[in-house]
Structure 1
Amino acid sequence: MKKQKVLYGLPEEVKFCSRCVISNQRPSSVVEFKNDPKAEKPTIMFDDEGVCSACRYAEIKENIDWDQREKQLIELCDKHRKSDGQYDCIVPGSGGKDSAFTAHILRYKYGMNPLTVTWAPHKYTQIGWDNFQNWIHSGLDNMLYTPNGRVHRLLTRLAFEVLVHPFQPFIIGQRLIGPRFSVLYDIPLVFYGENQAEYGNNIEENEKPTMDMSFFHESRLEVMDLVLGGVKVRDLIEKHGIELRDLTPYLPLDGERLKKTGTEVHYLGYYLRWDPQECYYYAAENTGFQANTERTEGSYSKYSSIDDKIDPLHYYTTLIKFGIGRATYDAAQEIRNGKITREEGVALVKRYDTEFPVKFFKEIIDYMGISEEKFWDVIDSARSPHLWLKDNDGTWQLRHQVE
């Protein structure tokens, strides 16, 4: 049988976890400033029994002494807690279930005074804006940071055209905003929710409570060689009319300033057992978080990543590049957390994973400034031949599906 061409450095043989529904094509969730769109590497590992690293970590979580971990959290909070009314920690987030849980429980159970900071979505959904407002009105201070609209639209379009990853500039900004505000306001302690290693990155990353700070300030490249949206900063300036000052929100921070502030980025999920569904229940009860009235396109869920109109398109691009759509991500973690069975997960993936996100499609391609024809040219050129087959009638089909 003729071998099919493989893009993005993916494994040639497609395998599915024997416990959940994720495949070995799952890409890295690490955002770098030197991204090669043809050389993305998967990070999820499968053992000899065909079980993925995320499922193995779910086993490890069963044996963690969570009471001891909570004591460590209390000690950390005691170390940083202010008694003069000043903010003592930063919590980045949108007011979705995870950040709503993180900020609220830190303030109202552990006595912290968090400043919540939000990197604005590309285009708010109504439910996203309502939940954001409810989050603030539940008793939290917030600063909404909205980047230069012209620049962000350009970077989003380039990221789609070059990387088929329209979410990349948003992810960079969102990842940097916590440490950035830490330096600006001299607040050393930053809390994010869960470590992405929960979902398949290197298991060893879960063994420490803090994020690697090198992402925020170090680079082997000069600033002009940093890559944003798949394009070097030099080319953004010379070919796209961008000034260096326009890119400030996306650039690594000054390492000396971070060191002087003593910035530490901690995962709350290291200290408290992380369960997305339980975060939802807590947020609904304590911050007024509301699930959507309809399921999200490409999945069956109603309460995860619902604040940005570009979200469905982002997950559609992961389906195109890696054969992994939104239903796969949702079902995989719900299986690991014991909310559904693998059989139920397989059925949900087969039903919803390849669904095209119609609802906000026209609005988002208008936002990026591309035509529908251009959109499909980019999408179809991004399909790795080892994952996709084109039928005689011109219809694209996945070669491999979870069973």
Structure 2
Amino acid sequence: MSTELRRCTKCLLPETHETIMFDEDGVCNICRQIEFKEGKIDWAARKEELTALIEEHRGKYDYDCIIPFSGGKDSTWTLYYLMKEYKIKPLVVRFDHGFLRPGLNESTIRVLRHMGADFHTFTPNWKLVQKLMLQSFLEKGDFCWHCHTGIFSYPMWVALRYKVPLIFWGEPSAEYTSYFSYDQEETVDEKRFNRYVNLGITALDMAVRLGGEIDERDLKPYTYPPLKELRGLNYRSVCLGSYIPWNVKEQSRIIMEELGWEGAPVENVPPEYSYEKVECYMQGVRDFIKYIKRGYTRPTHLASIDIRHGRKTREEGEQLIEQFEGKTPPSLQM
């Protein structure tokens, strides 16, 4: 574990973590947010707000809501919870970024058949994806721009197409960062998209960078829909985790037992976290690049979550980080 970085005195997140700040005790703002989540929020009242929101939209459209869906633990839980708890009729929408693991697709089929939901999936132009990946890597050291943007913008276009105003995402960003806090209302909108998702590069920026190499129409899935159209729909784009307390380990256990959802080994992710980032077989490479840039990666992230929620001590977190952090992934050793 890098000793050169200043770290939270509680959860071990380093100073290079996005949006992090430390108080006079050296405790980070993410830890303080989780304390607020666990001690200050009236979750029964939040659940009533969720119920009212669903009933406001139930039965008025072809679908009660849109659920953006990667097939990972969080979107699977969102689908499971909303259908089981509220018996809603959702349209499940997936943006296929091109690197889905075969095992994930098998889990997705099992989940959808068990739940009985309509499934809309979109696979973008692969030649364009390659150009976008290279450009974003050269500019930001992150080849996932097409995935970041497509996952959050494409379902909004589907909401407009089907005229379904209610969109449910999974965990709120306050669970892991401080772009928003648990005492704020977090709307998953264009402001959040530009602040939190697109690496500071818009689709128009990409069109300019790539010049005559692309057809600008191909960039529509990566472009956030016009606010005027969304307001005309009277859209509500919210996180389920703003209304119910988010518990990744417990939720993963439930979807494994109830739906046959399966985790998978992921490069440099400790085996006890088999549910983590199973959507993409480029995850190990991406995490290693993050380690080069920021001095920490997935093991620190996972250890910090468990420390904040009382599942690990700081010392146990340090041991886990020491064992797994910063290793060159096997896919780069060929």
TM > 0.5 between the two?
Answer: yes
Number of residues paired by the alignment? Answer: 323
Could you tell me which residue of structure 2 aligns to residue 149 of structure 1?
126
Which of 29, 35, 42 is the matching residue for 1:59? 35
Cα distance in 2 for partners of 1:158, 1:212 equals 25
1:75 aligns with 2:52: yes
Cα distance in 2 for partners of 1:268, 1:87 equals 17
1:47 aligns with 2:17: no
Pair 1:162–1:202, CA change in 2 (3 A): closer
Deviation, 1:242, is 0.8
Contact 1:89 1:114 in 2 (8 A): yes
Cα distance in 2 for partners of 1:202, 1:215 equals 8
Could you tell me which residue of structure 2 aligns to residue 345 of structure 1?
317
Pair 1:309–1:206, CA change in 2 (3 A): farther
Could you tell me which residue of structure 2 aligns to residue 175 of structure 1?
152
Could you tell me which residue of structure 2 aligns to residue 298 of structure 1?
268
Pair 1:165–1:351, CA change in 2 (3 A): same
Contact 1:117 1:143 in 2 (8 A): yes
Deviation, 1:203, is 4.8
1:328 aligns with 2:304: no
SS in 1 for 2:250: helix
Contact 2:182 2:242 in 1 (8 A): no
SS in 2 for 1:305: coil
1:276 aligns with 2:243: no
Cα distance in 2 for partners of 1:172, 1:206 equals 26
Could you tell me which residue of structure 2 aligns to residue 23 of structure 1?
14
Could you tell me which residue of structure 2 aligns to residue 92 of structure 1?
68
Pair 1:211–1:228, CA change in 2 (3 A): closer
Deviations 1:289-324 (A, max 9, x none): 1122x4x22220211111211111121121111112
Pair 1:209–1:343, CA change in 2 (3 A): same
Match for 1:75: what amino acid? Answer: A
Deviation, 1:83, is 6.6
Cα distance in 1 for partners of 2:227, 2:303 equals 39
Pair 1:320–1:150, CA change in 2 (3 A): same
Match for 1:233: what amino acid? Answer: A
Q: Percent identity?
A: 29
Cα distance in 1 for partners of 2:317, 2:204 equals 34
Match for 2:276: what amino acid? Answer: S
Cα distance in 2 for partners of 1:169, 1:201 equals 24
SS in 1 for 2:59: coil
Could you tell me which residue of structure 2 aligns to residue 104 of structure 1?
80
Deviations 1:205-226 (A, max 9, x none): 65214234435699xxxxxxx9
Identify the structure with the greater helix proportion.
Answer: 2
Structure index of larger Rg: 1
Contact 1:134 1:289 in 2 (8 A): yes
1:124 aligns with 2:96: no
Cα distance in 2 for partners of 1:189, 1:174 equals 16
SS in 1 for 2:98: coil
Q: Which moved more, 1:254-263 or 1:209-218?
A: 209-218
Could you tell me which residue of structure 2 aligns to residue 248 of structure 1?
220
Match for 2:201: what amino acid? Answer: V
SS in 1 for 2:181: helix
Could you tell me which residue of structure 2 aligns to residue 135 of structure 1?
111
Which of 222, 235, 254 is the matching residue for 2:209? 235
Cα distance in 2 for partners of 1:62, 1:215 equals 24
Cα distance in 1 for partners of 2:215, 2:208 equals 10
Cα distance in 1 for partners of 2:9, 2:217 equals 49
Matches within 5 A, 1:5-16: 14-16=5-7
